[in-house]
Chain A
Amino acid sequence: GQNIDQPTEMTATEGAIVQINCTYQTSGFNGLFWYQQHAGEAPTFLSYNVLDGLEEKGRFSSFLSRSKGYSYLLLKELQMKDSASYLCAVRDEDYKLSFGAGTTVTVRA
């Protein structure tokens, strides 16, 4: 099974940077995903890491260290529309996803 931990809530100011950490303990590993979920909506894919290092995609970057069981999602130049829940998910050896409880990010003006 998987044990995935991420902070419950974070607050930041518009234009700032926020880093959301995710730690995991897994019986098998086939990639780590970040999804964004606005209130009342479905999750949408943000990023994917399977090798160690940083993946950059516009204002969003995701980092993975497999040896430490650690990932973070970096959101730069925060905008009000970035207020959402961010879900860390780990894919196991059977290619099934296990999700963390999500981190609610509130962006203030």
Chain B
Amino acid sequence: NAGVTQTPKFRILKIGQSMTLQCTQDMNHNYMYWYRQDPGMGLKLIYYSVGAGITDKGEVPNGYNVSRSTTEDFPLRLELAAPSQTSVYFCASSYSEQGYEQYFGPGTRLTVT
């Protein structure tokens, strides 16, 4: 199993550009999450999904959108990139809400200038 994979690893965007961060898991997990991590800060939940076709906002959803058309994929979309979105983005998954371990992808380091 590859676990949770994310692409790209690094990306530099100009202000106002758009991009999609890809996340795929091959563990047949129902629950998937997107977090951002700023230097010296904890991970903040952006969006999460409890299954295909179902998504919900986390703590910091503004400026982002998600979709969940399959169990495996959970892409995160930035429509109009802003410098405040410079961060490291982690995707994670877990089998269920009761499953106590979240598995994290390797992260995408995004810089908006």
Contacts and interface: CB of A to CB of B under 8 A. Distances in A.
Interface string A9-44: 000000000000000000000010100000001111
Interface stretch (B15-23, B67-75, B94-102): B94-102
A101 B100 contact: no
A45 B94 CA distance: 12
Contacts of B44: 99
B16 to A, nearest CB: 28
B51 interface: no
B2 interface: no
Given A31-B100, A33-B100, A45-B101, A101 B107 contact: no
Interface string A73-109: 0000000000000010101000111111110000000
B100 A48 contact: yes
B41 interface: yes
Given A44-B104, A48-B101, A96 B58 contact: yes
B42 A101 contact: yes
Interface string B72-106: 00000000000000000010000001101111111
B43 interface: yes
Contacts of A45: 101-103
A42 B88 CA distance: 10
Nearest to A45: B101
A39 B101 CA distance: 21
A4 interface: yes
A43 B43 contact: yes
A101 B45 CA distance: 13
B34 interface: no
B40 interface: yes
Interface in B23-47: 33, 35, 40-45
A43 B90 contact: yes
B90 A95 contact: no
B5 to A, nearest CB: 11
Interface of A: 4, 8, 31, 33, 41-45, 48, 50, 87, 89, 91, 95-102
